Chain A
Amino acid sequence: MEAGIIETTYDLKAYLEGVFVARRQEIGLNDTAFVAQKRAEAFELFSRIGFPHAALEKWRGTDLSRALNHEFQALPEQPAADIDIDKIFKCDVPHFETLLVSQLNGWYADRINLLQVYPNGMIIGSLAAALSKYPKLVNAHYGKYADDKTDGLTALNTAMAQDGIFIYIPDNVTVEQNIQTVNITDFKQNLFLNTRNLVILGENSHLRLVQCDDSINHDVTFINSVTEVKIGRNSTLDHYKMQNKDDHTTLINSMFFHQDEGSSLSTNAISLNGGLIRNLSHVTMSGPHSNAEVYGLYLMDRYQHVDNQVFINHAAPECESRELFKGVLDDHASGVFNGHIKVHRDAQKTNAFQTNKNILLSDKASIDAKPFLEIYADDVKCSHGATIGQLDPEALFYIRSRGISEANAKILLMYAFAADVINKISIPELRQRMDDMVKKRLRGELSQCEQCVLNCSTHEHQKMDFKIDISKI
């Protein structure tokens, strides 16, 4: 591909622009004046810069041409009011007690109770509904953190997103339950989805949030998801992204976190399968004494592609960030890790550490690892390290000398490699589950239907052989 050009047979950009112009009223049905203004600006920006392409530094290594080259339908209908989401999705993680918040084709799934207010003041529901009911609250945050003027996809999302999940946690609330959001796509045609979520944590509050991405249809899906998260003073957010998608799915998952003084964020993206996955974790530490932990694990094979973009914006002094990303790539799989740390001039006494480790199992697999430290303060501790390697032969011999076969010794070491990231999961049931899934993935026993009990009966069950081939090491 030539630099700077997205080559597609279908003019998706023109199609989306056409849809926006024709159905603008409908898209912005619940908009406040503020949000309508954001939409107009974002549409103008997307029209001008279009989809991101490989000539952009942040997109070097991830070419969307193929993923965009389909005849898509945007703006799926709202789900019927009588939809029974339990029949479509059931989380089968044992003993994993969650408050399940479902989305179907981008829409908040419960069309009868669009907003649920809990006794502790917590509000969960549809973002579109929240715009009508709590305009001041939404206006104060919407579009404020996801305001990258160079990112065409985020702009497209801001322009076209109709709904998504809204979570509000007031001050001084510790949410005991894990909140689990599930984004299900079920559509009879190729679907281009813009979904938008907003999570607001007040001061001194604590939340554990698990985001799962699942698909029912095996048609081509392009999900362009943007989530803005505000973490108030002295609040903590424990956040997980679980990705196990089929090969026809492109998932752009852009997270924009904004941290106030004394807040803590831990976010962990676990990508087990997916045609093309791009995770952006954009973290701004706006107040001192904040802490951010950004982790990721990716296990990819065949022609899968995974791109992890991390931007840690140290805008305040005495904050600490830690990044750990690990990946195994087999066959023709490719990966990108781009870890950008920016330490502003006033952000003295910043600690920022970044590690990215990769194992490549075939000579066709590739990883493009790029640490990038941009430091304007002089009293900081920053480090970065990227490795691309093989399994340690000394460790292999050690394990084999106990009677464990070479094949199993390799699985054990690969698992040990991945366990570093799995062990960061602080919810025991979830950690156990991910542990099992990673083991299955390494043994070649995991399918993309494994994560949930989806009602696939109406669709031809597609058999897939996900197998990271240990014998090649």
Chain B
Amino acid sequence: MLSIRNLHVSIKGKEILKGINLEVNPGEVHAIMGPNGTGKSTLAYVISGRDGYDVTDGEIIFKGKNILDLSAEERACEGLFLGFQYPVEIPGVSITNFLRTAINEQRKYKGLDPVPAPEFLARMEEKKQLLELQDKLASRSVNEGFSGGEKKKNEIFQMAMLEPSLAILDETDSGLDIDALRIVATGVNKLRRPDNSTVVITHYQRLLEYIVPDVVHVLFDGRIVKSGGKELALLLEEKGYEWIRSES
């Protein structure tokens, strides 16, 4: 699904990622953990194609294709999804219109006709029920006036609607109370399929009580310094990041 090889990334001449290697297979859930400022969000942004990052070395292969030359929208059309740590408010654009535009642009990319309105609305309804979302959500403007929890739920809803092959969830747990966390995690679990993958970026082990990862990576100072099973997250929780610092 995703192969990152020896990825080096700089921002304004400062190297942030110093040789990342990551292999995510279809059906897997990976967790990337690590202290603040070690490059977790940078990694998410670089995979999604945000401007302003210099990839000085390495490659990102997504479904067999090197995506480094693709724009953010092209990567999305290829099946990538980024759940934002701080989702942006877009007043005046309803979630319905936003998602219909996104789905139709993705379909256009694949040479498909726009989704018929009844089919689109049925899909909205189905996903809303799946994620136990309120009815009024769809008519509201994208993220406008949403609470932190609502914004994150809306990210998961968009993910459900867009049905990506690979979803990267950047600090989706930050700012969530336990109920919102449970809803978000349940959504991720329900959307899990043998042919899609999820990369969860998180600071705390807490989210991993709800989303059980196949592989846990520890990102430290721009490198993945440790990888292991879900027990690694527990070890981290117990020993703290100081343990990694002393190990690396």
A residues whose Cβ falls under 8 Å from a Cβ of B: 392-395, 397-406, 408-409, 412-413, 415-420, 422-423
Contacts and interface: CB of A to CB of B under 8 A. Distances in A.
A419 B72 contact: no
Contacts of B102: 402-404
A308 B91 CA distance: 24
A413 B89 CA distance: 10
Contact of B71 (A393, A400, A402, A408): A400
Interface string B54-97: 00000000000000000111001100011010011011110000
Given A397-B51, A412-B101, A402 B76 contact: yes
Given A406-B71, A408-B101, A401 B91 contact: no
B48 interface: yes
B206 interface: no
Contacts of B105: 403-405, 408
Contacts of A418: 92
B76 A415 contact: no
Contacts of A405: 73, 105
Given A393-B51, A408-B105, 11 more contacts: A395-B90, A398-B87, A398-B88, A401-B84, A403-B73, A403-B76, A403-B103, A404-B73, A419-B92, A419-B93, A422-B92
B154 to A, nearest CB: 12
B92 A416 contact: yes
A403 B162 contact: yes
B50 interface: yes
Determine which residue in B49, B91, B92 has the highest number of CB atoms from chain A within 10 A of its CB, and name it: B92
Given A397-B50, A397-B51, A402 B98 contact: yes
Nearest to A413: B90
B106 interface: yes
B195 to A, nearest CB: 19
Contacts of A392: 88
Nearest to A392: B88
A402 B162 contact: yes
Contacts of B99: 402
Contacts of B197: none
A400 B76 contact: yes
B243 interface: no
Nearest to B50: A397
A400 B84 CA distance: 13
Given A402-B158, A403-B73, A423 B50 contact: no
A412 to B, nearest CB: 6
A420 B90 CA distance: 11
A394 B48 CA distance: 13
Nearest to A399: B90
B50 A403 contact: no
B182 to A, nearest CB: 25
B93 A403 contact: no
Contacts of B91: 416, 419-420
Contact of A415 (B49, B51, B71, B93): B93
B72 A400 contact: yes
B93 A412 contact: yes
Contacts of A419: 91-93
Given A401-B76, A402-B76, A403-B73, A395 B92 contact: no
Ordered nearest first, which 7 A-B pairs have the shortest CB separation?
A: A419-B92, A403-B76, A402-B102, A416-B92, A398-B88, A400-B72, A403-B106
Nearest to A397: B50
A454 to B, nearest CB: 30
B49 to A, nearest CB: 8
Nearest to B86: A394
B196 to A, nearest CB: 16
Determine which residue in A394, A405, A418, A419 has the highest number of CB atoms from chain B within 10 A of its CB, and name it: A405
Nearest to A395: B88
A406 B73 contact: yes
Determine which residue in B72, B84, B98, B162 has the highest number of CB atoms from chain A within 10 A of its CB, and name it: B72
